[in-house]
Amino acid sequence: MISLKQLSKIFKTSASTITAVDSVDLSVDEGEIFGIIGYSGAGKSTLIRILNMLERPTSGNVTVADKDMSSLSGRSLREARQEISMIFQHFNLLWSRSVKENIAFPLEIAGVAKEDRNSRVHELIDLVGLKGREDAYPSQLSGGQKQRVGIARALANNPKVLLCDEATSALDPKTTDSILDLLTDINKKLGLTIVLITHEMHVIRKICHRVAVMEAGRIVEQGPVLDVFRQPKEEMTKEFVKQVTEPEETMESISDWLHDKNQGPIIKLMFLGEDAEQPVMTELIRHCGVAVNILQGKVSKTREGSYGTLFVELQGEQENLDKALQFLEDHRVEAEVLKND
């Protein structure tokens, strides 16, 4: 559906030259939810704007839905853009228009007849869960409702691709989850290809099939979300994965254990897929003769399966502790010793 080959974007000023996107190769499959994650300044916003030619690349090729976007201009570019919609962090709604009028706006521009417009608008209002709010104005809506309007408006012309530019960054965690659930539902119902950029690994973990990590304009790592969670290779990727597997509040809660010399080894265990739902700890205690003190734990769901992390203290003779670590390895549980006094 989307193919980027040796894509670069260079901004030149009187004082300097900035390479915002640097030789990026990327492909997104039809019907996939693909995430691009990076900190501010990584180049992800520039990259996503190049997909619909809001920014022209300095070099390289952009193909979306079998169209070479970088070769299009004028009417042909406008027609191609109708297949690529976008939603934004700050909603970009027309404040003088009601919900239904905002959703109808792209249909008006496309010259769709009024009767057909009204039918499509009501269909979209039902899809995004805004029934009963058709006549409300943006100032009367919550942040989540505003983003639902933005999503409905983006879907008005039946696009093949939906681009999401930090679409949940302005929302609280509960509302973020509801919007991510909506995007997942839309992806399933419509087979829509979704590309989203974010700096939050929670967003990637919850809805994406694959992810690319950007740093200084380059893609430093990419792959299926579950694989990236299991074996992040680059330091940048490891930092993002820790947002989910080792959140700050978790590390604070076990900090006393890590510094207590009277405690046994502190082990971080990582479970993947079906293994995250198996009674491994029960078997560990039964077969290895160790006591297990569970300090903190969490099982997170990705699109492709579960990913669990568990922080434990092991107590027992050294021979049994070694046996326990071997048992975990044999059962495909990754174990990292955080403290071993």
108 pLDDT more than 80: yes
Asked if the model's pLDDT at residue 79 lies above 90, the reply is no
As to burial, measured by CB atoms within 10 angstroms (0-12 exposed, 13-18 middle, 19+ buried), residue 183 is buried
**What is the average pLDDT across 107-127?**
94
What mean pLDDT is reported for the chain?
Answer: 88
Q: Are residues 193 and 259 in the same domain?
A: no
Task: Give me the residues paired with residue 314 across strands.
Answer: 292
More confident residue, 270 or 178: 178
Q: How far apart are CA 106 and CA 127, in angstroms?
A: 17
For residue 340, the model assigns a pLDDT of: 63
269 plus 234 within the same structural domain: no
Give φ, ψ of 254 to 5 degrees. -110, 5
Total of domains in the chain = 2
Pick from 225, 244, 263: which residue ends a domain?
244
Q: Are residues 79 and 124 in the same domain?
A: yes
Q: Are 188 and 76 in a shared domain?
A: yes
Sign for the CA dihedral angle at 73, 74, 76, 82 comes to positive
With a cut of 80, say whether residue 264 has pLDDT above it: no
Q: Which amino acid is at 293?
A: N
CA distance 269 to 310: 5
Angle between helices 114-127 and 99-109 (to 10 degrees): 130
For residue 142, which amino acid is it?
Answer: S
Same domain membership, residue 88 and residue 40: yes
- Residue 313, strand partner residues: 266, 293
Write out the residue range of the structural domain in which residue 283 sits. Answer: 247-339
Judgement on whether residues 139 and 251 belong to the same structural domain of the protein: no
Task: Judge if 239 and 252 occupy the same domain.
Answer: no
| Cα angle value 227/228/233 (rounded, 5°) | 120
Q: Do 259 and 127 share a structural domain?
A: no
Q: Which of 244, 279, 297 is the last residue before a domain boundary?
A: 244
Closest CA to 219 of 211, 231, 227: 211
> Are residues 222 and 109 part of one domain?
yes
Q: What is the pLDDT of residues 33-46, one digit of tens each?
A: 999 999 999 999 99
End-to-end CA distance of the chain: 53
Query: Which region among 32-36, 154-158, 168-172, 330-334 has the lowest average model confidence (pLDDT)?
Result: 330-334
Contact 154, 85 (CB under 8 A): yes
Last residue of a domain, one of 244, 267, 285: 244
Q: For residue range 288-326, what is the model confidence (pLDDT) as tens digits?
A: 888 888 888 777 777 777 777 888 888 888 888 888 888
State yes or no: pLDDT of 276 exceeds 70.
no
User: Do you know the residue count of the chain?
Assistant: 341
Q: What angle do CA 121, 126, 131 make, to 5 degrees?
A: 95
CA 180 to chain centre: 9
| Claim to verify: residue 212 and residue 312 sit in the same structural domain | no
pTM over 0.95: no
Same domain? For 207 and 282 the reply is no
Q: What is the distance between the alpha carbons of residues 107 and 97, in angstroms, rounded to a whole number?
A: 14
Could you tell me if 191 and 90 lie in one domain? yes
In three-state secondary structure terms, 155 is helix
Contact of 106 with 88, CB cutoff 8 Å: no
Q: How does pLDDT run across 145-168, given as a tens digit for each residue?
A: 999 999 999 999 999 999 999 999
CATH code of 313's domain: 3.30.70.260
Strand partners, 222: 212
Cβ(42)–Cβ(234) under 8 Å?
A: no
Strand ranges (E), the chain: 2-12, 17-28, 33-37, 59-64, 67-68, 84-88, 161-165, 193-198, 210-215, 218-224, 266-272, 291-302, 305-315, 334-339
Residue 278: predicted pLDDT: 62
Q: Which two tokens stand for residue 183?
A: 């995007």
CATH number at residue 40: 3.40.50.300
pLDDT at residue 257 is higher than 70: no
Q: Which residue has the higher pLDDT, 285 or 47?
A: 47
**If pLDDT is split at 50, 70 and 90, which confidence band does 273 have?**
low
